[in-house]
Chains A and B, each alone.
Chain A
Amino acid sequence: MAWLKGKRILVVEDEALIAVMVEDMLTSMGSEVVGPVGTIEAALDLARGEGLDAAVLDVNVRGERIDPVAELLMGRGVPVLFATGYGEVRLQSGAAATVIDKPYTQEKLARGLMAAMGIASNGGRRAG
């Protein structure tokens, strides 16, 4: 996973055990994790202030939709990967999203980020 080496990736996940696991997965692939954070407010702070290469976002953070964070990031041109238990994600803005289903393995996460960042040329927006 050489292409993830040194990439700064924001992780938003309110479930601590999952957050730690994602952090481990990304770290083991050489990325630098920004966060993880478990509130929309904290996520918005990081999304505004940090230099980011990509973000892995939980869709529902303590009962709140992730949309404001996602839209802010997309507005900055930061690739976003949604991780969710809801079969599909439709942002309130109507924009299409790259999604991976929970639970996911490290391979699935890597494929998802690749799709979101447009690195792979498989053309699909949805990563399995």
Chain B
Amino acid sequence: MLAARTTQSANANPARDGGTGFGAGRAEHLETLYRLTDRLYRASGQPAMLQAALDAIGEGLCCDRCSILLFDAAGVMRFAAWRGLSAHYRKTLEGHTPWRPDTVDPEPIFVADIDQTEESEEVKRTIRAEGIRSLAFLPLTAQGKVIGKFMAYHSEPSAFGEAQRALAITVARQIGFSLERAQAEQARLAALRDLVESEQRFRLMAEHAPVMIWMCDAEGRCLHLNQMLRRFWQVEEEQIGGFDWRQLLHPDDVQNVMQHMGAALEQQESVLVTGRYRNASGEYRVLETLANPRFAADGSFMGLTGVNTDITERERAEKALRDSEERFRLVVEASPAGMVMTDGAGRILMINALCEKLFGYDDGELLNREIEVLVPPAMRQHHPGLRETLADRPPPVAKREVVGRRKDGRDIPLEIGVNPILTSDGLRIIATVADIAERKRAEAQRELLLAELNHRVKNTLAVVQGLAHQTFTHADSSARRAFEGRLQALATAHDLLTRSHWESTSLSQLVSDALQIGDTSRQRVSADGPMVRLNPHAALSIALALHELVTNTLKHGALSCDTGVVTLSWNYLDGGEMLRLEWRESGGPMVIPPRHKGFGSLLLERTLARDLDGRVELCFDPAGVVCVIEMPLR
């Protein structure tokens, strides 16, 4: 088509007004333009405009066939309005255009004779078949861009005269302006429609949002309440104008809320305020209100737009938590033991007054301090390490004795029980702290008393020995020595009991004390048995019995010669209820049973049996003395 234009423009026969009989006179042209302008001005839509344009083209260019084509959204030139054109023609030549939408300064094209162009044969054939020999292409532009074209057709080869060309160009411009105006109007309407839709959408959102939304004017008068807020107060939409939410404020909150809201209106600024409001069912709910100022396009203050959030449950939960914490604090405070809680880093989060007093601090003085201030400097360095190992240990950690450092620098003995707990806030370490200075003093006192008691008992034994010494004088030194030996045995057992604080004593220790008989003899005694602990009473009795047996065997029995041996053994009977102890001599001189029982035998068989609530059997077997003691273990 571009090729066609060049050829045709070059070869065009300049038309002369009225020269061909197709053109109209200048006056008619003015008439045509006037009518077109008028109709375009009055047209209420694009179709009416296009019809007016076709009328003007037909009239001004004296043709009964013409058309207007416009680019569609895809940039294809399509027939928008036409006269006297077959469907086949329109279909075949639709999209045919010498210009694109971005063509700069498009020139009109006047084709005098289609046969003289270099168009394809198909195009020429279609045009001829439609009975068309000459055509005019006029570009329609809007805002400098090609939006379409109009076409005028003649059945005979024709030259478009100067006047006709000028008219065609003017008509094209008029159509372009009108289309541009129509498009702008359309765009404006579309924008307006979008705005209305968007407004409606937001209105709908605000109306149905699951929060309470409201608007008030610059004086604080209620303009709008959304559905949720209307339901909260059970206010109908038509009542909003006269609705006064202030009446529903809790009397105690009126001052605070009104002060905040008043300030927001006056300063035209945001506000965040919490208050209790009575809802439709008469229940006070806690509402947190956040409101922002609203301004018109000219900057004038329009009022506030706010959102209310019902925080009643949150408040309740927070209060419950505060109450629970308060209860916990009271329990800790009232605890009869010192209590302290730290975080994982050892910072004191809670400590009761008792505990602070223990360390010589005032109430609350230790809060947020490091727990290490309560540790003597020598141990301070590795204390954090100890704390860290706690985190891995399953509670409860056993109580233990430590030394604490008071504020005045004095060290005090303490017993602490430490429990790590993992909370949602991280590791917490709770410790009970007890001052055991008193207990330590009592323990030391007890030690002292025991030592004193032991001293006195042994002094008394020594006095008894002195008495015996005086009583027996030189008359019977063997009897005196036997007596002294027994006193010694008693004193030795006594020592042993003192060392074990008169609680219980081990049988094997008792045996080894009793066998202080010189190395050569000792090697011939075997002693064997399980670990047995004896109460003080039994221990004294057994010590005396062993003394008798040892003394006897050294004097008359297995240990009185070089060949004899003694086997001492013990074991449990009746599942640990009873103890059986056996002294068995062998290899010594043949045993001759004594004619009358001496003190030793008496002590063993009668006193011991009674003392131990058990059975003692002393047997003077010729092969060696055997003594069996059976006693309950209590």
Residues on A lying within 8 angstroms of B by beta carbon are 15, 17-21, 24, 60, 84-87, 101-105, 128
**A24 vs B464: C-alpha distance when bound (angstroms):** 15
**Which of the residues B454, B461, B463 comes within 8 Å of A87, measured between beta carbons?**
B454
**A65 vs B481: C-alpha distance when bound (angstroms):** 31
Looking at the assembled complex, report how far the CB atom of B549 sits from the nearest CB atom of chain A, in whole angstroms.
19
Looking at the assembled complex, report how far the CB atom of A28 sits from the nearest CB atom of chain B, in whole angstroms.
9
Asked if B470 and A85 make an inter-chain contact with CB atoms under 8 angstroms apart, the answer reads no
Residue of B nearest to A19 (CB): B466
Contacts of A101 in B (CB 8 A): 458, 491, 495
* B contacts with A: majority SS: helix
**How many chain B residues have a CB neighbour from A under 8 Å?**
26
Contacts of B454 in A (CB 8 A): 85-87
B407 contacts the other chain (CB 8 A): no
Asked if A87 and B451 make an inter-chain contact with CB atoms under 8 angstroms apart, the answer reads yes
Residues on B lying within 8 angstroms of A by beta carbon are 451, 454-459, 461-467, 469-470, 481, 484-485, 487-488, 491, 495, 498-499, 516
A-B contact count (CB 8 A): 64
In the A-B complex, the 8 residue pairs with the smallest Cβ-Cβ separation, listed nearest first, are A17-B466, A85-B458, A85-B455, A103-B462, A102-B462, A21-B466, A21-B469, A103-B465
Asked if A102 and B467 make an inter-chain contact with CB atoms under 8 angstroms apart, the answer reads no
Most B CB contacts (10 A, CB to CB) among A84, A85, A105, A128 go to: A85
Contacts of A24 in B (CB 8 A): 469
**Which of the residues B467, B491, B498 comes within 8 Å of A17, measured between beta carbons?**
B467
**Which of the residues B457, B465, B481, B485 comes within 8 Å of A21, measured between beta carbons?**
B465
Contacts of B451 in A (CB 8 A): 86-87
**A104 vs B459: C-alpha distance when bound (angstroms):** 10
Residue of A nearest to B461 (CB): A103
Looking at the assembled complex, report how far the CB atom of A110 sits from the nearest CB atom of chain B, in whole angstroms.
14
**A102 vs B458: C-alpha distance when bound (angstroms):** 6
Most B CB contacts (10 A, CB to CB) among A17, A24, A128 go to: A17
Residue of B nearest to A108 (CB): B488
**A15 vs B464: C-alpha distance when bound (angstroms):** 11
Most A CB contacts (10 A, CB to CB) among B456, B466, B491 go to: B466
Looking at the assembled complex, report how far the CB atom of B250 sits from the nearest CB atom of chain A, in whole angstroms.
80
Asked if B462 and A15 make an inter-chain contact with CB atoms under 8 angstroms apart, the answer reads yes
Contacts of B499 in A (CB 8 A): 87
Instruction: Given A17-B467, A20-B470, A87-B498, check contact A103 B484 (CB 8 Å).
Output: yes
Looking at the assembled complex, report how far the CB atom of B219 sits from the nearest CB atom of chain A, in whole angstroms.
97
Asked if B469 and A87 make an inter-chain contact with CB atoms under 8 angstroms apart, the answer reads no
Contacts of A84 in B (CB 8 A): 455
Contacts of A60 in B (CB 8 A): 455
Contacts of B470 in A (CB 8 A): 17, 20-21
Looking at the assembled complex, report how far the CB atom of A111 sits from the nearest CB atom of chain B, in whole angstroms.
12
Contacts of B465 in A (CB 8 A): 18, 21, 103
Contacts of B458 in A (CB 8 A): 85, 101-103
Contacts of B467 in A (CB 8 A): 17
Contacts of B516 in A (CB 8 A): 128
Q: List 14 A-B contacts (CB under 8 A).
A: A17-B467, A17-B470, A18-B463, A84-B455, A85-B454, A85-B457, A87-B495, A102-B458, A102-B459, A102-B461, A103-B458, A103-B461, A104-B462, A105-B481
Residue of A nearest to B495 (CB): A87
- For the complex with contacts A85-B459, A103-B491, 17 further pairs of A-B residues with Cβ separation under 8 Å are A15-B463, A17-B466, A17-B467, A17-B470, A19-B466, A20-B466, A21-B465, A21-B466, A85-B455, A85-B456, A85-B462, A101-B458, A102-B461, A103-B487, A103-B488, A104-B488, A128-B516
Looking at the assembled complex, report how far the CB atom of B91 sits from the nearest CB atom of chain A, in whole angstroms.
131
Residue of A nearest to B487 (CB): A103
**A87 vs B452: C-alpha distance when bound (angstroms):** 10
**A102 vs B469: C-alpha distance when bound (angstroms):** 15
Looking at the assembled complex, report how far the CB atom of A20 sits from the nearest CB atom of chain B, in whole angstroms.
6
**A128 vs B459: C-alpha distance when bound (angstroms):** 17
Contacts of A103 in B (CB 8 A): 458, 461-462, 464-465, 484, 487-488, 491
**A86 vs B448: C-alpha distance when bound (angstroms):** 10
Contacts of A19 in B (CB 8 A): 466
Most A CB contacts (10 A, CB to CB) among B461, B465, B485 go to: B465
**A84 vs B454: C-alpha distance when bound (angstroms):** 10
Asked if B466 and A102 make an inter-chain contact with CB atoms under 8 angstroms apart, the answer reads no
Asked if B466 and A18 make an inter-chain contact with CB atoms under 8 angstroms apart, the answer reads yes
Residue of A nearest to B491 (CB): A103
**A25 vs B616: C-alpha distance when bound (angstroms):** 37
Contacts of A18 in B (CB 8 A): 459, 462-463, 465-466
Residue of B nearest to A88 (CB): B451
**A38 vs B470: C-alpha distance when bound (angstroms):** 19
Looking at the assembled complex, report how far the CB atom of A62 sits from the nearest CB atom of chain B, in whole angstroms.
12
**A119 vs B491: C-alpha distance when bound (angstroms):** 27
**A104 vs B495: C-alpha distance when bound (angstroms):** 13
Contacts of B488 in A (CB 8 A): 103-105
**A128 vs B466: C-alpha distance when bound (angstroms):** 19
Asked if A20 and B469 make an inter-chain contact with CB atoms under 8 angstroms apart, the answer reads yes
Contacts of B457 in A (CB 8 A): 85
Contacts of B481 in A (CB 8 A): 105
Residue of A nearest to B463 (CB): A17
**A77 vs B76: C-alpha distance when bound (angstroms):** 136
**A103 vs B457: C-alpha distance when bound (angstroms):** 10
Looking at the assembled complex, report how far the CB atom of B498 sits from the nearest CB atom of chain A, in whole angstroms.
7
Looking at the assembled complex, report how far the CB atom of B540 sits from the nearest CB atom of chain A, in whole angstroms.
15
Contacts of B461 in A (CB 8 A): 102-103
**A86 vs B588: C-alpha distance when bound (angstroms):** 39
**A101 vs B499: C-alpha distance when bound (angstroms):** 14
